[in-house]
Amino acid sequence: MSSLAGKTAIVTGAGSGIGRAIARRLAAETALVGVFDINAAAAEETVAEILSNGGRAVAVACDISDADAVDVAVNGFVAKSTGAIDILVNNAGWNKHSPFIETDAAFRSKITAINWLGTMNMTVVVARKMSGQGHGRIINIGSDAGRTGAAGVAVYSGCKGAVIAFSKSIARELAKDNVLINTVCLGPTDTPAMERLVNSGDDGKRFVAGLSKAVPMGRIGKSDEAAGMVVFLAGEGARFVTGQAIAIDGGMIMLGA
């Protein structure tokens, strides 16, 4: 039997890409998955796919940048499911390449609201529940950009760096309650956003080709490779693992600090 049997999970940004892959994998491990996404139709598509494969999932439309909306969505999902929450995966994110000095306030605020404030909004609601339960796993999806920096994504890199430090800090605070918090730091990964970049023209193709060459394994990652690490950190095999930032990047982090 899977170590996630009988567990309840929430995955944010699970309407597509990496979040969808994580939700599918958790459901395959027999967890009940709350598919949270700002795009209600996309969340329903993920749920339909999970149900068609014999899994259990519930779609929840939620804007994670809105703290009040997060509180309502999480409490509503928990009340209608098992009454507890065992796993939270803070995956939702958004980014767009732009030199920092060319960004405007609205752009910087949007990236910060989704990638940083959204993670905090979800975590504070769920962590309070997990602390009261005396158990739980929180897995934050970070980025190599948050560890080494990356040109053209300064605000995003700053947010992901904050997520790494935040995760380590609350891991120290909540270890006594058996609430374990880790960050999965991804390198370049094949997502819908990456596909749009490739299809944007020759510059996009050259950029993605350059990323592939920068990875020692010679390719960008796949969404289900991130999902495998999430399942491990959510399961019994990781019951003594907390406060870690783990790279899933084909060895790319070896080239940086």
Please identify every residue annotated as catalytic. 156
Q: 226-237: buried (b, 16+ CB within 10 Å) or exposed (e) per residue?
A: bbebbbbbbbee
> Dihedral of the CA atoms 55, 239, 241, 115 (nearest 10)?
30
DSSP secondary structure, 166-211, as one string: HHHHHHHHHGGGTEEEEEEEE-SEE-HHHHHHHTT-HHHHHHHHHH
What are phi and psi for residue 150, nearest 5 degrees? Answer: -155, 135
Which residue has tokens 């999480």? 74
* Identity at 199, one-letter amino acid code: N
Which residue has tokens 């394994």? 217
The DSSP code for 218 is S
DSSP secondary structure, 96-127, as one string: ----GGG--HHHHHHHHIIIIIHHHHHHHHHH
Q: Which residues contact 34 (CB under 8 A, 6 or more apart)?
A: 8, 9, 10, 11, 57, 58, 60, 77, 81
